[in-house]
Structure 1
Amino acid sequence: MRTSRDRLRHAIGFELIGLLIVAPLASWLTGVALSHMGPLALFFSVLATVWNYVYNLGFDRLLQRRQGHTRKTLWQRVGHAIGFEGGLLIVALPAMAWWLKISLLEALVLDLGFVIFYLVYAFVYNLLYDKVFPIPAQVTQHA
């Protein structure tokens, strides 16, 4: 299982790279000034960083309990990415609608674009992260 330090590096790297991509992209696509879109993106980045840590810790504990290790199959990675984004959506929609002064439906449409981006991004980032920073070998203890 990953250490807390490794989880922190994972979460911060994920959010920093994502923020550098998504804030300018969202500003450009929506026509909303980066000075207005940037703080919203930063809020979501901080929120997502905390959620990332909590979610990944829980997901790994579930894998450890159910299968005895934390290595993920392709389908577990897909489920992992969908679960992460779904949890984030619960907070994102009302905050986005309020900040941008749009309806929840408009926020949902806008957020769907971000969900698609982050689903792909999360899959690729986590796959590459696991290759660059492999999960340490499990140490078995003999009684």
Structure 2
Amino acid sequence: MAMRTHADRLRHSLLYELFGLLLCTPLASWALGRDLLRVGMLSVSISGVALGCNYLFNLVFDHILKRLGRPVHIRPPWLRALHAVSFELYLTVLTVPLIMWWLGLSFWAALLTDFGYTVFFLAYTYLYNWAYDTIFPMPVAPKTETAGD
């Protein structure tokens, strides 16, 4: 089975974060009633955490699919949804403490804030990965000839 190259994974992660920041930061600033610059800095910080996590998470996710014998280039809607939800849960564990510290929020307020980010990014992750796979299709391993060919 063919898998994405490291360069392709890097492009995927960088574009994901760039478009996510451009869409999310103004919305979060408005929803939180906080200064755009302060929320922008928080969003960039979360993006940095997510960028590193995105690369690693997607690599592990693809290896799990490969180990289970599933082709990595076929992503039905249920698998895309599983991918998006599991990534956002993983990221939440890492970002809630950052939000607490950055905005001076209690755990519950930070969790609610993170929930807002998560709802946005669940939809965004699903749509982004669908669009990315459409624009930059996953490589398909060449067929090997068998004795009967």
Partner of 1:80: 83
Greater RCO (Cα-Cα under 8 Å, separation 6 or more): 2
TM-score normalised by the chain length of structure 1: 0.95
Hey, what's the Cα distance between the residues in 1 that align with 2:70 and 2:30? 45
Task: Give 4+ residue runs of structure 1 displaced > 4 Å after superposition.
Answer: 140-143
How many residue pairs get matched?
A: 143
Hey, what's the Cα distance between the residues in 1 that align with 2:125 and 2:103? 25
Partner of 1:131: 134
Hey, what's the Cα distance between the residues in 1 that align with 2:143 and 2:126? 29
Partner of 2:99: 96
Matches within 5 A, 1:58-77: 58-70=60-72, 71-77=74-80
Q: Which has the larger radius of gyration?
A: 2
Higher helix share: 1
Hey, what's the Cα distance between the residues in 2 that align with 1:65 and 1:142? 23
Aligned CA distance change for structure 1 residues 68 and 111 (closer, same or farther; 3 Å): closer
Partner of 1:47: 49
Matches within 5 A, 1:1-80: 1-70=3-72, 71-80=74-83
* Alignment RMSD: 1.4
TM-score normalised by the chain length of structure 2: 0.91
- 1:113 Cα deviation from its structure 2 partner: 1.2
Name stretches of at least 5 consecutive residues in structure 1 with no aligned partner: none
Name the % identity: 41
